[in-house]
Amino acid sequence: MAETQRSLSAFGRLSYAVGHFLNDLCASMWFTYLLVYYHSVLGFQNSLAGVLLLSGQIADGICTPLVGYESDRTSGCGRYGKRKTWHLVGTISVIISFPFIFSPCLGCDENTPQWVGLIYFIPFIVIFQFGWAATQISHLSLIPELVSSEHAKVELTAYRYAFTVLANIAVYAIAWLFFHFQVGSAEDPSITDNLGRFDIPVFRNLAIVVLGIGTVFSIFFHLGTREAGTHQQGAVLEPDEHQPLISGLRVTRPARVLQWKHWLKETSFYQVAFLYMFTRLIVNLSQTYISMYLTKSLLLPKKFIASIPLVMYVSGIPCSLVMKPFSQLIGKSMTYFVGLLFIMAFSYWVLLSSHMGLEVYGAAVLLGSGSATILVMSLSMTSDLIGDQTQTGAFVFGAMSFTDKVANGLGVMIIQVLYPDQTGAWYYRNVMVIVTGGMAIAAALALCTLLIWPIRIRRHLSSDSEADAAVN
């Protein structure tokens, strides 16, 4: 018997899509400006700036699977829903901690030892990362609960990523405005091109503004979205085309629910985890080091650390809009591979171009388009892996996120420690080549395993309900 298809109305899709907007705004500042802020503005050593980012990634990596497990196990606050309850807890944690990360240490000055600042900032970073993880996992876990069609999952993921793009555009546009007005009122030419402690107000005000914007969208999400099983607002039950036209049929459920330990015995679980990890390494590390590459290797004025990331994410908008029909035409795996081709083209361009001028905007378009494509497809493949096992969906997303957080944190720490003092001018160019081109090759190998052994749940389910969902 075919099961009834769950779908969302236009309002339901919109209210869901904005639920991660606050996280996206904060993540944009975290990955793009954290190293720049602590190293070039506050004057932290490269290794200590890396320690701060690593501590955040480790905290996020630990919190993510734990939040996923608890989100699957608990019932939520009353009738509010377990996913939305954890989303609310995460949102509050982000709001109370994030402003302190991009503000100077209270009571500190230029002569304060850097280890004091390290101790001061780490607790705020840990609280922020817990909140970020709780919001991310609860929001992702809603996808297979709100919709059941595979293409509807791609569509919802694409809408979610479209607002991720808009969040990044908002951050970089506001940052560009702050730098523009600062340059217009500055009398010292060095302020125009170089970063320093005089930029502290820029980053502090940027954090406050994006936090205010994100809070508004979080409120809209909580008012407009309801979980399946409560009173799912905006949800429409659409009969499958093979379903008999008889009313009163109950939605079929899996014969046996997978527990979290069962996922650890599934080959597809590790295949998707590696693909997702390499995808996040490409997206996050390139976002983290693009500012260092622009200011340290290409020696461009600091306004480029706002304009180039802005171009990257604007180029991702058309990709997110055409993702659904394109994946229906050639399949998810081939769509992901097309995104990898854009990433490899960017890496090759950076490798061959010793002095980039305005052509850096063209390279940014390639990187932005490729990043948008592979991120949406990897999230969609994760939803395919979960299938109808939505009861443990948060654990799966949490485990995927754990691999990417730890890998990103270790990657940043290694890059920061290996930074050479004498020949560092082109160090970040080599970093950009490796984290895009090198990781793209690794992601392609992970994709090949999914083409040879498609996503399939092989254990712990009875034969009549075994999942046959394979990636196209």
> What is the tens place of the pLDDT at every residue in 145-171?
777 777 777 778 778 877 887 888 899
User: Residue 261 pLDDT more than 80?
Assistant: no
Rank 57-61, 322-326, 399-403 by mean pLDDT and report only the highest.
57-61
The pLDDT value given to residue 257: 65
Tokens standing for 24? 């996206």
The pLDDT value given to residue 233: 41
Judged by average pLDDT, the poorest of 82-96, 373-387, 412-426 is 412-426
Please name which of 146, 465, 162, 135 lies closest in space to residue 313, comparing C-alpha atoms.
162
Average pLDDT of the residues in 311-335: 82
Residue with more model confidence, 27 or 324: 27
The pLDDT value given to residue 409: 85
Average pLDDT of the residues in 420-429: 72
3-state secondary structure 413-428: HHHHHCCCCCCCCCHH
Contacts of 120 (CB under 8 A, 6+ apart): 105, 106, 108
pLDDT in tens, 68-107: 777 777 766 667 778 888 899 999 999 999 999 999 888 8
Helix (H, G, I), strand (E, B) or coil at 40: helix
Residue with more model confidence, 46 or 242: 46
CB atoms within 10 A of CB 139: 23
Average pLDDT of the residues in 364-379: 89
For the chain, the average pLDDT equals 80
Average pLDDT of the residues in 280-308: 87
Half-sphere exposure of 85 toward its Cβ, with a 13 Å CA cutoff? 16
Percent of the chain with pLDDT over 70: 82
Q: Letter for the amino acid at 470?
A: A
Domains of the chain (ranges plus CATH)?
12-228 (1.20.1250.20), 260-457 (1.20.1250.20)
Q: How confident is the model at residue 423 (pLDDT cuts 50, 70, 90)?
A: low
| β-pair partners for 237 | 6
Rank 323-327, 372-376, 397-401 by mean pLDDT and report only the highest.
372-376
Q: How confident is the model at residue 470 (pLDDT cuts 50, 70, 90)?
A: very low
The pLDDT value given to residue 240: 39
Q: What is the pTM of this model?
A: 0.73
Judged by average pLDDT, the poorest of 198-202, 304-308, 315-319, 421-425 is 421-425
Strand segments (E) across 227-282: 235-238
The pLDDT value given to residue 190: 57
User: Residue 232 pLDDT more than 70?
Assistant: no
The pLDDT value given to residue 99: 93
The pLDDT value given to residue 186: 55
Site of tokens 């992970």: 446
Q: How confident is the model at residue 185 (pLDDT cuts 50, 70, 90)?
A: low
Tokens standing for 421? 């003092």
The pLDDT value given to residue 249: 34
Rank 252-256, 287-291, 305-309, 345-349 by mean pLDDT and report only the highest.
345-349
User: Residue 13 pLDDT more than 50?
Assistant: yes
The pLDDT value given to residue 128: 95
Average pLDDT of the residues in 103-114: 83
Average pLDDT of the residues in 56-64: 84
Residue with more model confidence, 233 or 345: 345
CA dihedral (176, 177, 179, 183) in degrees, to 10, reads 130
The whole-angstrom separation of Cα 392 and Cα 73 is 8
Contacts of 67 (CB under 8 A, 6+ apart): 86, 90, 130, 133, 134, 137, 138, 394, 398
User: Residue 307 pLDDT more than 50?
Assistant: yes
Please name which of 67, 30, 64, 36 lies closest in space to residue 49, comparing C-alpha atoms.
36
Rank 164-173, 210-219, 315-324, 448-457 by mean pLDDT and report only the highest.
210-219
